[in-house]
Each structure stands twice: as C-alpha cells, then as structure tokens.
Structure 1
Amino acid sequence: MPYNLQGKNVLITGGSAGLGALLSTTFARQGCNVAINYFNRIEPAQKVKTECEALGVRAVVVKADMTDTTEARRAVQETIEKLGGLDIVLANAGWTRFSAWADLDSMTESEWDKCWNANVKVPKALLSEARSTFDDNEEGGCMITTGSIAAVSQGGSSMPYAVTKAAQLQLVKCLAVTVGPKIRVNTVLPGLLLTEWGLRYPEERIQQAKDAAVLKHETFLEDCASAFVMLAKNTSMTGMRIQVDAGLNVQGA
C-alpha cells in the first residue's frame, strides 16, 4: 500500500540548489520534515529552509561534503539528531567537471576518484549509516538516488561521470536485494536539466539535446521531482530506475 509521507523525515543531499532545492520544497509540500544538505554556500540553503518552514514543516540545514564518505555518514547522524529520526534519504548530490571525452586524460586521477566517491561510495555510505534507523522504523525506509541518463548512454559532462553513474545504477540494484524487505532503494535518471549546472552547457549543445529528445524539450524539473515522490510512496518498487528524459535516450530506457 502507498507509503504515507506526512510527517516523515527526509535528508536531501545537495538540497540547496537546482533539483535538490526543488526536492526539498516538494517533499515539504508532501508534509515531510527536511534536512537540507549543502557544502559551500549557506545562503541558498537558508533560503530553501525558510521556504520549507513556510509550508508548515520542520526544516534544518546540514553542512557536509558529499564527496567524502565520513562527511556523508556524519550528515545522516546530524539529521537524525536534529529531526529526531530519519525515514528517507534522497542521495541527490553528485560530482563532475565538464571535460572532453576525446581527450582520455582530460580528467586527472584524483578527479576520477572524486567522481567515484561522490557518485558511488557516498550513496552507499549514506545507506549504510541510515540502515539501522530504517530497520527500526515501523514502516522501514527508503533511499532514492539522482542518477543520469549518462549511466545508460555514452555522453554527458565527462567520461568519469558517465562511468560512475553507471556504477551507481548497479549499486542501487545490489543494495536493493541486500537491504530488503524493510528498505527500498531506487533511482531517477534525468536527462538535460536546465539548472545552474545544466546551463553551463553551451547554448548550441542545449539546443542539440532538445532537438534530439522525442518530446523536443529539456527534462522539466517538476516532472523529475514528481518521480521521486512516486518512488517514495510506492512500496512495491525496489532496485528500479525511472528514466525522466523527455525521450532523449529511448533506446537505453
């Protein structure tokens, strides 16, 4: 039966900007208390916190570097302390740097490692730290990651990003069969999101992506956020991916 989001406690990593900010306010509208993770800029996080509180829920900010597993684990602990519990983790934060695929050395070894940490090791660490709390919850818990269609195609901001997002997709499946039956693990794979980050693509590249999509537009942020809500509520789905990309990569769906 559908999972009732009212009153649930949610940690949103990278929750102060872009899709993460929308996820914070979207789950607040569902009646969830939210922990908004940020790393560098507290002002946007405080703004999102105020918006969530205006919706009648509790909201806190949690500073943590989501390229570091120790920091990720601490963020879970701090969320539990500040909100009094934890029911849902939205592992939204990731890392990449725009770089040329044709140049196999355009990303350094340390940048490959940073991609691996952010996109694979940190989601695993978040669930590892939340697992005992989820298991103790009467209704269990769930984690949803923000993946990317780069995981199922050969494109994106960088080769390390595509490779590690593909690994994250496999991680979601492996975790799902490991931590059930009380914990669900799923992922959402967006296409082109015109966030602060997505708008760093050249205008020509953005238009090419829109033209290549079956629906001839970018992935709308609200549609993407709705997929997270659906997965959070659906108690019959785990180990699944929901691809929200305006038909940009139908073959990989």
Structure 2
Amino acid sequence: MTLEPSDRPVALVTGSTSGIGEAVVRRLAADGMRVVVHSRNSTEAGEALAAELGGAYVRADLAVEEEARGLAEAALDRYGRLDVLVNNAGISWPIPHDDLAAATPADWRQVLEVNLIAPWVLCTAALPALREAPAGGSIVNVTSHAGVRPKGSSVPYAASKAALNHVTRLLAAALAPGVRVNAVAPGLVDTAMTKDWAHAHDIWRDRAPMRRPAQPADVADLVASVLANSYLTGEVILLDGGLNLT
C-alpha cells in the first residue's frame, strides 16, 4: 500500500463488510475517522465500502497468525498511524450445549483461533502504534452476552467470548493510561447471519424489555460512545435490550 499520512484518527475494524462491523466502520467514518475495512473473503464488497468511505480495504484470514498480524501492519503502512482497533470479527455455529461429543476439539480450536487468539495477535501487533496515538489509543472488543450469561450458540463460542471479556479487563489494567480497552457485549443482533434464528428472535421479542433484537446501528452507536469517553476502560458493557433482567 502507498503511504497516505493521515491527520485524522485511524480505526481498524475487523469483519467490517457486513452486519455489526459494517455499521461500526460506517459510524466511525461518519465521526471523522479514517477507516480500514477488513474481511476474510468479501474482497469486492470490502473494496467498494472502503472506496465509499474514503478508507482502505485489507483481506486477511484471522485464523492464520501471519495474516492477522499483517492486517495491523497494512493499516500502518497505509496511514502511518493507528488510533483505534475494533476486534469485531468472529465465528459461530449452533451446537447444542448438552451434546458434548458434538463440540469436538477441532471445533474448539477453530472458534478459539478466530474469536480469542486473533484479537490477541491484533492487539499485540497494534500496541506500539496505539501507544503513540495523540489522544491515546483505544481497543474495543465486540464480545457477546453469551460470554456473561450461560447462553449462546455453543459452549465453545460462549467460552471464547467469556475469555475475551476477561482479556479485556486484564489488558485494560496492563495498558493504562495510554491505551484504553473495553468490550461491548451484544445479545441478539438482527443481521443476515441471525435471520434464520427463529427461536432467538422469539425470545427477544417476548422476553426482552425492549421487545426486539438490536440493530447493527445500536451496536455501532455504543462502540462510538465508548471510543468518545476518554476515561472509560476495563468495562464489558451488555447491550441486550434488558434481557439480562429477566
């Protein structure tokens, strides 16, 4: 990539060509940041979105350590700075919690590689630049209410998000005051991935005080608020429409 030094904060958002990630990257661009769009395989959509937002697109498979590390390096190569890292990308598929044999060691390794280890690699790769951010660097991990309550599409998925929540707190303590680290933990979000999750939609419609799942923009608004608050660190913020109250 050709170096284009930026006088605006630069934000890297993983998994940002659709759903929550797209909403976040659009919101941060609207807030005046240079954005780096990422996906594993949606190259055409990623390049189009980056062009629309005046940002850059980088393809990387986060399950491959070298590619995850290279994603942060590519953002720096393009803009010469990195102020914000939003670890949004994740994988999930339904496995009944009581079917222990169905959650194989291979499933565990695949989920943990993308949902937990890749964010760690990205934090590590981005840290020197985040420490040099003029207003202080900020990391936001998009986790899940399944990492807070005994819920979720599978035990490996829930465990990966619970671990990322705890990593958030550990890094917040270790990296302060120069770099803030927080997590946003949504419940059900109305995206293409969840459109066929009829049972989950029924739960949020019938039991959540807000009587609906979140929209991607709801999550993006919270991420933007977390980034805007220069005092907030070490928090895991539930965004589940109040379902945790029931």
1:243 aligned to 228, 235, 238, which one?
238
Deviation at 1:183?
0.2
Q: What SS is found at the alignment partner of 1:195?
A: coil
Contact 1:67-1:95 within 8 A present in 2 as well? no
Contact 1:11-1:88 within 8 A present in 2 as well? yes
Contact 2:90-2:114 within 8 A present in 1 as well? yes
Distance (Å, rounded) in 2 between the aligned partners of 1:148 and 1:34: 23
Q: What SS is found at the alignment partner of 1:105?
A: helix
Deviation at 1:218?
0.7
Contact 1:7-1:31 within 8 A present in 2 as well? yes
Q: What SS is found at the alignment partner of 1:198?
A: coil
Name the residue aligned to 1:104.
Answer: 100
Contact 2:191-2:215 within 8 A present in 1 as well? no
- Is 1:138 aligned to residue 134 of structure 2? yes
In structure 2, stretches of 5+ residues that fail to align are 1-6
Contact 2:19-2:191 within 8 A present in 1 as well? yes
Name the residue aligned to 2:18.
Answer: 17
Q: What SS is found at the alignment partner of 1:93?
A: coil
Distance (Å, rounded) in 2 between the aligned partners of 1:240 and 1:147: 12
- 173 and 104 in structure 1: CA distance in 2 versus 1, 3 angstrom threshold: same
Q: Tell me the TM-score normalised to structure 2 length.
A: 0.93
Contact 2:145-2:240 within 8 A present in 1 as well? yes
Deviation at 1:70?
2.5
The amino acid of 1:226's aligned partner reads: D
Distance (Å, rounded) in 2 between the aligned partners of 1:188 and 1:35: 20
Deviation at 1:165?
0.4
Aligned length: 240
Which deviations, in whole Å up to 9, do the C-alpha atoms of 1:48-72 show, x marking residues without a partner?
223313xxxxx11111112233221
Deviation at 1:87?
0.5
Q: What SS is found at the alignment partner of 1:249?
A: helix
Q: What SS is found at the alignment partner of 1:11?
A: strand
Contact 1:9-1:87 within 8 A present in 2 as well? yes
Contact 1:25-1:51 within 8 A present in 2 as well? no
Distance (Å, rounded) in 2 between the aligned partners of 1:189 and 1:69: 25
Give aligned-pair identity as a percent.
Answer: 28
In structure 1, stretches of 5+ residues that fail to align are 1-5, 54-58
Name the residue aligned to 1:170.
Answer: 166
1:212 aligned to 184, 190, 207, which one?
207
Deviation at 1:242?
1.4
Distance (Å, rounded) in 1 between the aligned partners of 2:186 and 2:118: 19
Contact 2:201-2:212 within 8 A present in 1 as well? no
Deviation at 1:220?
2.4
Name the residue aligned to 1:3.
Answer: none
Name the residue aligned to 1:188.
Answer: 184
Distance (Å, rounded) in 2 between the aligned partners of 1:47 and 1:101: 39
Higher mean C-alpha deviation, range 33-42 or range 114-123: 114-123
Deviation at 1:34?
0.6
Deviation at 1:83?
2.0
Contact 2:186-2:238 within 8 A present in 1 as well? yes
Name the residue aligned to 1:226.
Answer: 221
Deviation at 1:108?
1.9
Which deviations, in whole Å up to 9, do the C-alpha atoms of 1:22-44 show, x marking residues without a partner?
11111000011111011112122
Name the residue aligned to 1:88.
Answer: 84
Name the residue aligned to 1:47.
Answer: 48
Q: What SS is found at the alignment partner of 1:200?
A: coil
Distance (Å, rounded) in 1 between the aligned partners of 2:122 and 2:164: 13
Higher mean C-alpha deviation, range 18-27 or range 97-106: 97-106
